[in-house]
Chain A
């Protein structure tokens, strides 16, 4: 007999107090390999106004393409200094910033590797459930053949790909837009 999953409900306006103990904007511990990146951006609503109380959660593989997770049985190197998890609050201007490494490719559908990417959950008040999206990396040759990116209509793929900034090597920008013509692509997780 299959049980029915518990329903999602809104985080409400005060979720920051319950979640901030685990805030972490630097995912990179000691001795971690991989290309360092800093990703910063803002969360905007449909009118272009900043959303000032969102929280982002990041989930990603390490530089070898291995998740720090018991169900990842790939024969790849685990690094103790890298959990692949981050929780980043947006500030009053809707701005967030975190430091991590560019992950390696991970297995995807049809036996093909996926392009390096971060999975992002966005939590905010006024919505019933988390919103799930991805951050891909600029100029990565694997992007063109990525299964998930290719599910997205070409004109909207850029919402999933971070942009280089003038702030230096590894400095990337990626924004979350909730509605409107530049709306970020969010994935239906059947949640």
Chain B
């Protein structure tokens, strides 16, 4: 439905969208988008949004007492290549309190929105980071009841995509269902 022409230059590098460098730890987030039969899904539009390194979103409703970063918007887009691969450069998002219950903190996470090859494959989810001590306490992470499915929302540290002297790599593969569903049948 969408090709690579839809997204702007630098849309997948969230660290280069302003005149200066954003604060925080630069990371590479990359992976493959596959269907349930392990086939790569090309031309999949991926949209991400996230908090800055201090745990604050550039959204007028976010009143968390942490600074905004004038060099970080926290939004990006990418389209998968012929092998289903995507790659973002961004900043590791901060954890933040969210007032849902006493001492409630969201673990570091990046929101993902994907358009697959059919209407049924439209997916919105969240990516987490390995070893985050907040994960067991987070009702949103734990809203995915199945333990194996839940743990696959946690990215893995990836030596291969790590850029020496520059950025640690995290790998997050995404499986979209319903490859067989036609747009007519939803």
Which residue numbers of A lie inside 8 Å of B, CB to CB?
1-19, 21-22, 57, 59, 67-72, 83, 85, 106-109, 114, 119, 121, 123, 128-130, 132, 187, 189-191
Write the nearest CB–CB distance from B93 to chain A, whole angstroms: 12
Residue of B62, B73, B111, B140 with highest tally of chain A CB at under 10 A:
B111
With A5-B36, A85-B1: A18-B75 Cβ-Cβ less than 8 Å: yes
Interface of chain B residues 142 through 186 with chain A (CB within 8 A): 143-144, 146, 148-150, 152-153, 174-178, 182-186
Question: Are the C-beta atoms of B184 and A72 separated by less than 8 Å?
Answer: yes
B-side interface residues, number (CB < 8 Å): 50
Write the nearest CB–CB distance from A173 to chain B, whole angstroms: 24
Q: Which of B111, B120, B123, B174 contacts A12 (CB 8 A)?
A: B111
A71 to B124, CA, bound (A): 22
| Nearest-CB residue, chain B, relative to A22 | B47
Say yes or no: is B133 at the interface (Cβ < 8 Å to chain A). no
Give the 6 A-B residue pairs with the shortest CB-CB distance, closest first.
A18-B49, A5-B177, A7-B144, A14-B59, A9-B126, A14-B57
Question: Are the C-beta atoms of A128 and B152 separated by less than 8 Å?
Answer: no
Say yes or no: is B102 at the interface (Cβ < 8 Å to chain A). no
Say yes or no: is B113 at the interface (Cβ < 8 Å to chain A). yes
Say yes or no: is B68 at the interface (Cβ < 8 Å to chain A). no
A residues less than 8 Å from B123 (CB atoms): 6, 8
With A8-B125, A83-B1: A21-B119 Cβ-Cβ less than 8 Å: no
Say yes or no: is B94 at the interface (Cβ < 8 Å to chain A). no
Write the nearest CB–CB distance from A159 to chain B, whole angstroms: 18
Question: Are the C-beta atoms of B38 and A11 separated by less than 8 Å?
Answer: no
Question: Are the C-beta atoms of A21 and B77 separated by less than 8 Å?
Answer: yes
With A14-B49, A85-B1: A2-B125 Cβ-Cβ less than 8 Å: no
Question: Are the C-beta atoms of A72 and B182 separated by less than 8 Å?
Answer: yes
A14 to B37, CA, bound (A): 33
B residues less than 8 Å from A107 (CB atoms): 184
Question: Are the C-beta atoms of B75 and A17 separated by less than 8 Å?
Answer: yes
With A3-B38, A21-B75, A68-B1: A130-B149 Cβ-Cβ less than 8 Å: no
| Nearest-CB residue, chain A, relative to B146 | A7
B residues less than 8 Å from A4 (CB atoms): 36, 148-149, 152, 175
A residues less than 8 Å from B183 (CB atoms): 59, 67, 69, 71-72
A residues less than 8 Å from B120 (CB atoms): 189-191
Question: Are the C-beta atoms of B37 and A71 separated by less than 8 Å?
Answer: no
Given contacts A5-B176, A11-B111, 14 further A-B contacts (CB under 8 A): A3-B37, A6-B153, A7-B149, A9-B125, A11-B124, A12-B126, A16-B59, A59-B119, A67-B183, A68-B1, A72-B184, A83-B1, A107-B184, A119-B119
